[in-house]
Amino acid sequence: MTATQEPTQGEIGRDRRRKEDQRLITGRTRWTDNITLPGMLHLAMVRSPFPHARITGIDTSAAKAGTNVVAVYTGADLGESQGACINAWPVVPDQVTPAHLPMPSDRVAFAGETVAVVVARSAAEARDAAELVEVDYEELPAALDLKESAEAHTNGGALAHPDLGTNVSAVWRFDSAEAGTGGDVEQAIAEARQDGIVIEREYRQQRLIPAFMEPRSVVVDPTGEQITMWSATQVPHILRFALAATTGVPESKIRVIAPDVGGGFGGKLQQTPEEMIAFAVARKLGKPVKFTETRSESLLTAHHGRDQWQRLTLAATKDGHVTGLKVDLLADLGAYVAIVGGGVPVLGAFMFNAIYKFPAYQFQTTNVLTNKTWTDAYRGAGRPEATFAIERLMDELANELGKDPLEVREMNWIKHEEFPFTTVAGLEYDSGNYEAATARAKEMFGYDALRAEQAERRSRGDKVQLGIGVSTFTEMCGLAPSRVLGSLNYGAGGWEHAEVRMLPTGKVEVVTGASAHGQGHETAFSQIVADRLGVPFEDVEVLHGDTQISHKGLDTYGSRSLVVGGEALVRAVDKVIEKAKPVAAHLLEASADDLEFSGGRFSVRGTDQGMAITEIATAVFAAHNLPDGVEASIDSEATYDPVNFNYPHGTHLCAVEVDTETGQVRMRKYACCDDIGNVINPLIVSGQVHGGLVQGIAQALWEEAVYDENGTLVTGSFVDYLLPTAADTISFDLDHTTSPATTNSLGTKGVGEAGTIASTPAVVNAVVDALRPYGVHDVAMPCTPERVWRAINTGGSGGETTEAAAPHFDESEGAAQ
């Protein structure tokens, strides 16, 4: 027996601290706003205070005379050079899509829209001069209320874009009977009305603001052969495409760099008017320019999320087997159809049936234009809305049946032995085990003990009631198989690209088309490459976010980076090994068939002969002794197009205490068991889950973008748009079960959105559960103390949010409140 070396611990599965944290957390790095170029000019935007108005005149003369002001441009001045903001997903062929100029010259369609841009030598001077631009507006009736706007074409109501004649941008529908994936939902509902249970509800997905940590910023340098744009974006590749496609500048003349980007949550997957304006101004002046938004501008104009009304009908048999689900949405697009835009509700279309075996299903969304900030993808994009609706309904069904909500779910969910399972929405779920995840979550949560405490508090009539909420979610992520996107009329594919460069010194550079903005790709991707290529973690450098380095890619959103980008990377690494093999055989004077590759070495079977892949990289660099006909490179690239979506799932359990005197809701316990397949880095996964949970909990309890009847965003700062901090949350109990994905080599599933998708209904279900003894069946989000109190005392779901904010700083106008 020969002594074998202890295998070194694999990188995959290790809770590595993130390489990027030092520079990201200290801020000593290249955020876009940290970039300063010689002769750089600064921009300030002049924005409309009105949601809908005709621009009747703009006087820029005073601003032009301002100190160190270089230029002031209106939409008319920039004309076609501004390009246009594109919608990549016309969800129906006849979608009504208003033209979206970055800076309109005739009419503004939401409060905050840019009407003029000031260029000055300093940001302060630009801001000063912006105050001097005088704009004359003629106010137009504004389409503000979503329900009213959806009907405006029938009753002469306000139109967001009068020339379009309607606010309805699209009606998109899926019906399982028509698609052949299931039965007729109307029939299922009719039968249930006769002899079963019908649950009909209307839920509101309030408008949210992504509120990434780093406000958006853009720098454009037109002085090189390529025009370079640095932007705080999630989508450098898509942005380059859009710049080229709408300005006529050849794509090869544009370089887009997403340097370190401080969060996005979907909020930075836009092609923004500000980027287009900066690009146009830089080209016009031939000088580098910078624009960095203030937090107030960010809250007002960066795209918002959610904002739907959901009309839902669930049919079930008397014993609680679901028989049909009908979903009728109104989705607020805001003033323009954004890049994903009307596709966001459509992304939810395949998820309302969730983990349950509905025999019949119908989904319809009516996408509506209003004179509010445009909406687009926000962490989860369509799937949180779907998960919320179905998980709320399953709790309502359980209540109707007088059964435990977990029992009713189990009666209806796909059993683990039934995978792969084709759903009523036509998706094939590859793997999962809802039983296992639920069992583990219940154990961590102490489900039975908390139910006992709840019963005890109820019988005692305690002023503080306990509620338990359940969410057994799944989602579709890993966007996306290109063919599926094509069939849905999406304007791009869903593949991802990767390259592996073997450097002469034995180090490795990895290029990915995914564009990290806080996720930790540099760490996780290094771990994958280190394991697969058998090189030290430290020797792997991950490059991304610069179209000159990463020329090909589809960027980061929809929990796609690992499951699509990671797979591309695996394939590129495998190609490196394949390419190295003949070289190794040549150098080792062995037959390629006798070589095996492991731990970073090729060895000749049955001998002690071998060579590290890094040595081969050096030999290939020298190229002194290569086999005939073999090129002097083992660098490789791969483009991977996923064959299917990816379906993480999990069971989330939440306990809240509700102070029935004040309506205050306090988190008591939160336990979740997520099945995200194999885990590359548990620490990063925990970070994603923790952050995701808080974002979802925040929708349930705190966050809401509120407009007043004048179309003014009243939650225009963090004083009124309530973001939670660590002080508002509790410690979460996390665990995982593992059903590896069968559609990628590493068996991974996306985790970027899971926590957000799962947690919102768990919390609201818990709040409602606490209040069942008071006859409460719904509390609208966010479940503010006032709403909870009103629901207890006057029934209903707690009423509307009053559309006014208290001033805390506004001394000059304070007295007018």
Partner 1 sequence: MIPAAFEYVAPTSVEEALAALAEHGDDAKVIAGGQSLLPVLRMRLNAPEWVIDLGRIDSLRGVRDGGDHLAIGAMTTHHDVGEDPLIHEHALLISKAITHLADAQVRHRGTFGGALAHADPAGDLGAPALALGSTFVVQGPGGTREIPADDFFVDLFETSISEDEILTEVRVPKHGGWGAAYEKFVRIAHQWPIVAVAAAVRMEGDTIAEARIGLTNMGSTPLRARAAEQALAGQPATEEGVAAGAAAAAEGTNPPSDLNGDADYRRHLATVLTRRAVLAAAGRG
- The reply on whether position 815 binds partner 1 by CB under 8 A is yes
What is the per-residue binding string for partner 1 in 254-293, x denoting contact by CB under 8 A? ----------------------------------------
Q: How far is the CB of 275 from partner 1 (least distance, A)?
A: 21
Give me the DSSP letters along 642-667: -SS-B--EEEEEEEEEEETTT--EEE
Which one of residues 287, 652, 749, 790 is an interface residue with partner 1 (CB under 8 A)? 790
Question: Which residue is associated with the tokens 């799962």?
Answer: 758
Residue 103 phi, psi (nearest 5): -135, 100
Q: How far is the CB of 289 from partner 1 (least distance, A)?
A: 17
Contacts with 134 (C-beta within 8 Å, 6 or more apart), sequence order: 57, 58, 59, 62
Which one of residues 77, 128, 567, 615 is an interface residue with partner 1 (CB under 8 A)? 128
- The reply on whether position 722 binds partner 1 by CB under 8 A is yes
Q: Find the helix or strand (DSSP H, E) in which 273 lies.
A: helix 273-285
Burial class (CB within 10 angstroms; exposed 0-12, middle 13-18, buried 19+) of 812:
exposed
Instruction: Answer whether 401's CB lies under 8 Å from 408's CB.
Output: yes
* Cβ proximity to partner 1, 215 vs 380, nearer residue: 215
- The reply on whether position 714 binds partner 1 by CB under 8 A is yes
- The reply on whether position 177 binds partner 1 by CB under 8 A is no
- In angstroms, the Cα distances linking 281 to 327, 425, 603, 627 are 46, 47, 59, 54
User: Strands 636-640, 114-120: parallel, antiparallel or unpaired by DSSP?
Assistant: unpaired
Radius of gyration of the CA atoms of the chain, in A:
28
- Near partner 1 by CB under 8 A, which window of 294-302, 392-400, 666-674, 738-746? 294-302
**586 to 645, contacts with partner 1 by CB under 8 A?**
none
Q: How far is the CB of 786 from partner 1 (least distance, A)?
A: 4
- The reply on whether position 449 binds partner 1 by CB under 8 A is no
- Near partner 1 by CB under 8 A, which window of 248-256, 258-266, 335-343, 714-722? 714-722
**365 to 384, contacts with partner 1 by CB under 8 A?**
none
Nearest to 498 by CA among 559, 567, 401: 567
- Near partner 1 by CB under 8 A, which window of 358-366, 387-395, 648-656, 723-731? 723-731
Which one of residues 596, 723, 731, 742 is an interface residue with partner 1 (CB under 8 A)? 723
The 3-state DSSP class for residue 575 equals helix
485/560 Cα distance (integer angstroms): 14
* Cβ proximity to partner 1, 452 vs 804, nearer residue: 804
Q: How many CB atoms lie within 10 A of CB 797?
A: 21
**749 to 788, contacts with partner 1 by CB under 8 A?**
784-786
- Near partner 1 by CB under 8 A, which window of 190-198, 415-423, 486-494, 698-706? 698-706
403/397 Cα distance (integer angstroms): 9
Q: Find the helix or strand (DSSP H, E) in which 582 lies.
A: helix 567-588
Q: How far is the CB of 784 from partner 1 (least distance, A)?
A: 6
Q: How far is the CB of 817 from partner 1 (least distance, A)?
A: 6
Which one of residues 12, 62, 92, 123 is an interface residue with partner 1 (CB under 8 A)? 123
The 3-state DSSP class for residue 290 equals strand
277/75 Cα distance (integer angstroms): 9
Residue 231 phi, psi (nearest 5): -145, 145
- The reply on whether position 323 binds partner 1 by CB under 8 A is no
Q: How many residues bind partner 1 (CB under 8 A)?
A: 46
- The reply on whether position 715 binds partner 1 by CB under 8 A is yes
Strands (E), 191-301: 196-208, 217-221, 227-231, 254-257, 289-292
- The reply on whether position 801 binds partner 1 by CB under 8 A is yes
The 3-state DSSP class for residue 310 equals strand
* Cβ proximity to partner 1, 296 vs 482, nearer residue: 296
- The reply on whether position 730 binds partner 1 by CB under 8 A is no
Catalog residues that contact partner 1 under the rule CB under 8 A: 123-124, 127-128, 131, 294-296, 661-662, 664, 701-702, 704, 706, 714-715, 719-720, 722-725, 727-728, 784-786, 789-790, 801-815, 817
